Amino acid sequence: MATLPITIQVISLLVAFLVMLFIGRLIVRGKLREEYAILWIVCTIILIVFSVWRRGLEQIALTLGVFYPPSLVFLAAIFAVLVFLVHLSVVVSRLQSQIKTLSQEVALLRHELESRTAVKEASTSQIAEPAATSE
């Protein structure tokens, strides 16, 4: 019985470090921006802290008046997830409006470019045409 908490402690530490490693790799490969990486690093640090400090959760729960410590974990985790989701929705909305503006600009610039090359072609073909007919 006494060995069980130790096993779970080792597993959770291992998982926390693996997550940390994974986040680190994503940053190095340029797949994750630093501003989001900070959040995930903080999460893994919390995970490590609680894997080492086994009585921590229980003590915090008791001081907050939560009788069943795991419910505090769920509460905190769900709250954090919700906040992050709202943040991501805001980010996606901003990206969407930026993409809209960008593609409109691209379309307008394409139009500009095409009409300019069309004018140039027309002027060169006007010069070229008489030479072609004289042959």
Q: Report the 10 Å Cβ neighbour count for 24.
A: 15
Among 104, 117, 123, 125, binds other proteins (CB under 8 A): 104
The one segment of 26-34, 35-43, 49-57, 101-109 that binds other proteins by CB under 8 A? 101-109
- Rule CB under 8 A: is residue 107 a binding residue for other proteins? yes
- Rule CB under 8 A: is residue 82 a binding residue for other proteins? no
DSSP output for 57-121 = HHHHHHHHT-SSHHHHHHHHHHHHHHHHHHHHHHHHHHHHHHHHHHHHHHHHHHHHHHHHHHHHH
Q: Report the 10 Å Cβ neighbour count for 18.
A: 11
Q: Residue 101 Cβ, how far from other proteins at the closest point, in Å?
A: 9
Among 108, 113, 119, 128, binds other proteins (CB under 8 A): 108
Give me the residues that bind other proteins (CB under 8 A), please: 99-100, 103-104, 106-108, 110-111
